[in-house]
Amino acid sequence: MQLPKTWVWQQSDWPHFRWDQGVLAQALACARLAQGKVLGVTQLLDAKLSLEAVATILAENGVTTSAIEGERLDFDAVRSSVARHLGLPSTGLPDPPRAVDGLVEVLLDATRQYDSPLTAERLFGWQASLFPTGYSGLHKILIGTLRGEEPMQVVSGRIGHEHVHFTSPPREGLEEGLDRFLAWFNASPTDLNGLIRAGIAHLWFVTLHPFEDGNGRLARAITDMALSQDERQPLRFFSLSAQILRERESYYNILERTQRGGMDVTAWLAWFLAQVTASATAAEKTVDDTLAKARFWLRHQATDLNERQRKVLNRMLDAGLDGFKGGINTRKYMSLTKTSRSTAYRELSELVEKACLKPTGKGGRSSGYEIVMT
């Protein structure tokens, strides 16, 4: 019996995607402008500051690409792994778990080696790196190979009232389907716009759903690789995953609508380009924060500070002006430095005297201190 054509991969012309270039023209122009602005701002950074900005973006990318799938990673552990891989200081940061290291290695390989072919073997290695124990949570899964014969569905709702959001293509023919995707990715038409190509690559791979787990994270890594290829540089200065997390509900909604539709993916690409614009715009703040941090330490290069004080100041600077809600106070200082209340109070007072911190102006339980940025 022939199945009803519910899914995009069941269409007779799959995977010949099409779109309305005229409809996308404005969204594409906005995305290009935002992309150009953030890349222009990064020209103000020297090599060391570029790495620090990339480290911030990469750590955010690692945390958010996992959070989209409902997995919460410790930011400090991700930051630690990123710092070690980039050769940046990691003093005071925890040793990252193997799975966190594996995720960071995937994200770095996708961008640093953006000009190397994307092969099945490379994808198998990426997927295995995401699950170094062979388990996803409490469940043993297939790693480093394609998914098994069991059909895969994304389902929500209680038993008897389930809603099927997506059904993957059957296992039979999956090798050929993945090979077709990889051949296209490695030899895309030269006249295909790079941002459009990144959006198509994301949709195509996540629809194939070739692995038992990790498909979403791998789709976003492939998207980062496509964006690096578009920009011709191995450093990512904006995190699309962070923007997708902010729009998580609309992300899944547009994916479901697209995967239930025909081969016209104009709506998906319009949504995707809007996220590129938003993520690039948000990244300008990260670059500004990196420059502000450099200026702060330039002013205080001769200031006598102990290791605990430097650690707290760096944490506040890394978090940005809005990162420490209410500023730093004695309790937070004690927690970050594992020191006594009296020591925390004394060292905070010293930081105020040395013009590193200033009172927030709020009294009572809301009292605290914020970074002096000028």
Could you tell me which residue, 298 or 105, shows the higher pLDDT?
105
Banded model confidence at residue 2, pLDDT cuts 50, 70, 90: very low
| 187-235 pLDDT, tens digit each | 988 899 999 999 999 999 999 999 999 999 999 999 999 999 999 999 8
**Do 255 and 319 lie in a common domain?**
no
List residues forming the annotated binding site.
213-220, 251-252
Q: Residue 85 catalytic?
A: no
CA–CA dist 351, 328 (Å, integer): 11
| 45-54 pLDDT, tens digit each | 777 878 888 8
Could you tell me which residue, 1 or 264, shows the higher pLDDT?
264
Would the CA dihedral through 302, 303, 305, 307 be positive or negative?
Answer: negative
CA–CA dist 102, 349 (Å, integer): 41
∠ CA 325-82-370, nearest 5°, is: 20
**Do 217 and 91 lie in a common domain?**
yes
Q: Is residue 294 part of a domain?
A: no
Stretch 142-167: mean pLDDT = 83
Give SS3 for 131. coil
The rounded mean pLDDT for the chain is: 90
Give residue 91's pLDDT: 76
CA–CA dist 356, 66 (Å, integer): 35
| 313-370 pLDDT, tens digit each | 988 887 765 556 668 999 999 998 999 999 999 999 999 999 999 998 766 555 789 9
Range of the domain at 359: 300-371
Interstrand relation of 369-371 and 139-140 (parallel, antiparallel or unpaired): unpaired
**Do 233 and 95 lie in a common domain?**
yes
Q: Domain count of the chain?
A: 2
Give residue 13's pLDDT: 95
Stretch 132-138: mean pLDDT = 92
CA–CA dist 252, 233 (Å, integer): 29
pLDDT at residue 28 tops 90: yes
Quote the DSSP letter at residue 187: T
Q: Is residue 292 part of a domain?
A: no
Percent of the chain with pLDDT over 90: 67
| 58-114 pLDDT, tens digit each | 998 999 999 999 899 998 899 899 999 999 888 778 899 999 999 999 999 999 999
Q: Is residue 87 part of a domain?
A: yes
Highest mean pLDDT pick, 2-6, 25-29, 231-235, 241-245: 25-29
pLDDT at residue 1 tops 50: no
**Do 115 and 165 lie in a common domain?**
yes
**Do 259 and 112 lie in a common domain?**
yes
**Do 265 and 305 lie in a common domain?**
no
Stretch 264-277: mean pLDDT = 98
Give residue 286's pLDDT: 78
Give residue 237's pLDDT: 86
**Do 118 and 235 lie in a common domain?**
yes
Q: Is residue 293 part of a domain?
A: no
Catalytic residue among 139, 161, 209, 300: 209
Could you tell me which residue, 282 or 44, shows the higher pLDDT?
282
- Residue at token pair 């509900």: 249
Q: What is the CATH number of the domain that holds 229?
A: 1.10.3290.10
Stretch 233-256: mean pLDDT = 92
pTM: 0.83
Could you tell me which residue, 77 or 291, shows the higher pLDDT?
77
Stretch 299-313: mean pLDDT = 91
List residues forming the annotated binding site for ATP.
213-220, 251-252
